Chain A
Amino acid sequence: MNYDADVAIVGAGLGGISASISAVKEGLNPIVIERGEYSGAKNVSGGRMYIHALKSLIPDVEERAPLERPITRETYKVFCNKGRELSFTFKEKSKTSFSVLRAKFDRWYASAAEEIGVTISYGTYLMGLQEEEDGITLNTSLGDIRVKYVIDAGGVTAPVARLLGRNLKPEHLMLGVKEVISYVQDLPEDEGEATTVIGLTRGLKGGGFVYTNKDTTSIGVTLKVDSLQSGSIKASEVVENYRAGLGLRGDVLEYSAHLIPYYGWGNLPPLYYNRVLAVGDAAGLLISDGFVIRGMDLAIGSGVIAGIAVKKVIDGSPLSIYEEMLKRSFVLSDMRKAWKAFQALSNPNFYGEYEDALCEALSREFLVNGKQRPTLIEALLKSFYDNGLNFSEAVKEIWKIV
């Protein structure tokens, strides 16, 4: 039988490009199809990448890649009721994660792959596919491609899986709505801030982010799709109220939106089936544990492993070797470790109730009015009780995260 390539990779984002680089290094002949007119043209992310996985593929990535700023400040901002606000910042001169803008970054990453001989067909999209005994044929807008295996790197909407009959479910998805604004934070060039914002998306399960770029700032909200469905607020309005609530000045330069996979380790969709290996968002890989939210390094890590796994499968290993390799890597071991915290964070009390009670306790603790002052624990117990909550249950929930 004739093949146009060993492996077709659907999508030239982080997962797809990583898979193509590793496939070429394994001596395979991959072909990548990308719907956008360039890599990143259809992509949006909050904008923070932990670069360890990329570094193992491209050691001098810090010098070469169009990264925005290293994240040296981790800030949490909690907006409580009654105009109360709680925030804290952890500073460290670290270069383990950077803010990124994907239209720029993915384009660079694709060119790095093309330099080592990867073929990327832009403006090309998948319309259908046929599985055969010894291969798989993709019907693309530029014609049919016959290959041995397919890597689904098509992002959260998993185009290959959907053509094969999978339905997406709202409870496993978040909607990210983002604005890039012209505001530039007054920080030294080698410093950047990542802010997690809680309490400005009331009535919905979700939160917000602010990332410092070189000349711009990325702000946005992430909202559970099922809470938007059953709520009474429009997604397009939430983000503007959020921007106004933050009080950041500056023009809006771009308005964007993207779905975010929100499965968690225990609910992951199949990572491989038939002749398909799924990577990155298409495989539902995302970690959210209260301290970090990360998907980009998981996309790169799973992409690299998929490229190696395809070679092993062509050489006679079963396709399940892909999942075994993922389990041995940081990709699935970190997903598994984050599972408890991931589940705990779905407790609706984390989206307003606990915050208000905590601010109430702090308010009691900082107040001097000549009456008897409570100890901190008394203030916490009373504040949680007054808000209809149980403090010891809250501690148990928080304990799952830490």
Chain B
Amino acid sequence: MENSVIPLLKRLSLNKYEVSQESHISINTNICKTCVEKPCIRVCPAGTYEAMPDGTVTAHYERCLECGAALVACPFGAISFKWPDKGITYRYG
């Protein structure tokens, strides 16, 4: 692998995940519709948050690295989070 940029999903696929049946992230999408900047998309290092054509944001919770940035990413408090019972297990850390 040279110095070229590796796409995010490929990087995430290197990690060990055990995905829960249920999402641990909930979003108040009514707030998202009024949010222009959508900083959650930039802040999350796992690309968990994606803007939808209707102005809402959807969470790909299975990508989550559980860093906690989502707890502060949204300035309007639209994202809430309970720690998943499974999720990421780091082998290096």
Question: Which positions in A face B, CB cutoff 8 Å?
Answer: 35-37, 40-45, 101-106, 123, 125, 127, 141, 156-157, 159, 168-170, 173, 175-177, 179-180, 216, 218, 225, 228-237, 239-241, 243-244, 247-259
Contact = CB atoms under 8 A, between A and B. Distances in A.
B93 A104 contact: yes
- Shortest Cβ-Cβ A-B pairs, 5 listed: A103-B93, A102-B93, A229-B39, A257-B45, A257-B67
Which of B15, B41, B65, B72 has the largest number of chain A CB atoms within 10 A?
Answer: B72
Interface of B: 1-6, 8, 11-12, 14-15, 37, 39, 41-47, 65-69, 71-73, 75, 82-83, 85, 87-93
A242 B11 CA distance: 15
Given A35-B83, A175-B69, A225-B43, A244 B5 contact: yes
Given A156-B68, A225-B69, A253 B92 contact: yes
A101 B93 contact: yes
B3 A255 contact: no
Given A125-B83, A254-B14, A231 B3 contact: no
Given A225-B69, A236-B45, A249-B1, A40 B6 contact: no
A229 B3 contact: no
B20 to A, nearest CB: 12
Contact of A42 (B42, B75, B90): B90
A168 B93 contact: no
Given A42-B66, A175-B67, A225-B69, A252 B6 contact: yes
A222 B78 CA distance: 25
Given A229-B42, A255-B12, 18 more contacts: A36-B89, A41-B90, A42-B88, A103-B93, A141-B85, A157-B68, A159-B83, A168-B72, A175-B67, A216-B92, A229-B43, A235-B42, A236-B46, A237-B5, A252-B14, A254-B91, A255-B14, A256-B65
A235 B45 contact: yes
A105 B93 CA distance: 9
Contacts of B39: 228-230
Contacts of A103: 90-93
A176 to B, nearest CB: 8
A228 B75 CA distance: 12
Contacts of A256: 15, 65, 90, 92-93
Contact of A249 (B2, B41, B90): B2
A241 B46 contact: no
A232 B69 contact: no
Contacts of A257: 45-46, 65, 67, 69
Contacts of A228: 39, 42-43
A213 B37 CA distance: 39
A257 B37 CA distance: 23
A168 B71 contact: yes
28 contacts: A40-B93, A42-B90, A45-B93, A103-B92, A103-B93, A106-B93, A141-B85, A175-B43, A175-B69, A179-B11, A225-B43, A225-B73, A229-B73, A230-B39, A234-B42, A236-B8, A236-B47, A247-B3, A249-B2, A253-B92, A254-B14, A254-B90, A256-B15, A256-B65, A256-B90, A257-B46, A258-B67, A258-B68
Contact of B90 (A43, A179, A234, A235): A43
Nearest to B42: A234
A249 B15 contact: no
B66 to A, nearest CB: 6
Nearest to B8: A236
